[in-house]
Amino acid sequence: MIIDGKKEAEVLRNEIKKEISLLQEKTKKVPTLSVILIGNYAPSEIYVKNKVLKSKEVGINSNIIRYPDNVSENEILKKIIELNEDSKVSGILVQLPLPKQINKEKIINLIHPSKDVDGFHPVNVGNLASGYQAITPCTPLGCTLLIKKIEKNLSGKHAVIVGRSNLNGKPMAQLLLKENCTVTIVHSKTKNIKVECSKADILVVAIGVPNFVKKDWVKEGSIVIDVGINKLENKIVGDVKFEEVKAKVKAITPVPGGVGPMTIACLLKNTLECFKAHLI
């Protein structure tokens, strides 16, 4: 089975849209997402354009605050303080990567945890790791929702995650632990990645290497989630050799049309959650 991320994302966006509309009737307010975009890195331009477009569709008021590549760190920090204090702003997103004169850690740490729609702030990271309520990074959240569409009860399943980034691998592990999976994270220094992958009931691949996972790496009947977005010979491919792996597994996400649309839908979900938290 090929998991239709586009369709699932549309279902989620429709739910979000309905809830925003009801809240707007009641409160006369709408969620607002402020996106800081620095420089003109083409992939970031595309991601941000999509985020803003989909926000509008569900009734989230979003705006892009643009800066040139050589902007000072101080100017960005000042803007974040201003957005933190602005009661009309529900969520703040600083698109990554950042130019080298800007310290990512400083930026992430300054965004108020209650407006941190990416779930990157240490307070949210810590809450997620503790199993408390937390704003959860959008991509792993989207992956979890897709996995749960295929298999409601993940208890006791062996999940293997390829990649240990703060953006994907680490929060993915926390979410699957919360679902009572037995979780293994493999990475560039792991001795035998192939053997570890072949034990997975659920395999999440977020390593950024095109066609990294082959057919003989996956277990028959497993669920494979491909987080990769790689440009290869003018085509977008994932981290999994889709054509050969799909025949062997129970379910797999395609690239494009798998995890990507869910990431954006989850950003909208997080923005709505931040908006609701500020209404109280």
Which residues bind to ligand GUN, rule: CB under 6 A? 93-96, 118, 138
Strands (E), the chain: 32-38, 61-67, 91-94, 158-162, 182-186, 202-205, 223-226, 230-232, 235-237, 251-252
In whole angstroms, the minimum distance from the beta carbon of 83 to ligand GUN comes to 14
Closer Cβ to ligand GUN, 139 or 222, answer by number: 139
From the candidates 54, 79, 116, 118, which is the catalytic residue? 118
Q: Which of 117, 262, 138 is nearest to 108 (CA)?
A: 117
Residues 103 and 72: their CA atoms lie apart, in Å, by 10
In whole angstroms, the minimum distance from the beta carbon of 147 to ligand GUN comes to 19
Q: Is 51 a catalytic residue?
A: yes
- Measured between alpha carbons, how far is residue 279 from residues 16, 19, 57, 88 in Å? 16, 14, 22, 11
Closer Cβ to ligand GUN, 38 or 237, answer by number: 38
Q: Is 95 a catalytic residue?
A: yes
Closer Cβ to ligand GUN, 67 or 215, answer by number: 67
From the candidates 54, 79, 95, 115, which is the catalytic residue? 95
Residues 76 and 118: their CA atoms lie apart, in Å, by 17
Residue with tokens 């400083």: 106
Phi, psi of 90 (to 5 degrees): -85, -40
In whole angstroms, the minimum distance from the beta carbon of 76 to ligand GUN comes to 13
Check residue 86 and give left, alpha or beta (phi > 0: left; psi -120 to 50: alpha): beta
In whole angstroms, the minimum distance from the beta carbon of 88 to ligand GUN comes to 21
Closer Cβ to ligand GUN, 251 or 264, answer by number: 264
Residues 41 and 198: their CA atoms lie apart, in Å, by 37
Closer Cβ to ligand GUN, 94 or 237, answer by number: 94
Q: Is 118 a catalytic residue?
A: yes
Q: Which of 246, 170, 238 is nearest to 209 (CA)?
A: 238
In whole angstroms, the minimum distance from the beta carbon of 171 to ligand GUN comes to 11
Residues 37 and 196: their CA atoms lie apart, in Å, by 38
Residue nearest to ligand GUN (CB): 96
Catalytic residues: 51, 95, 118
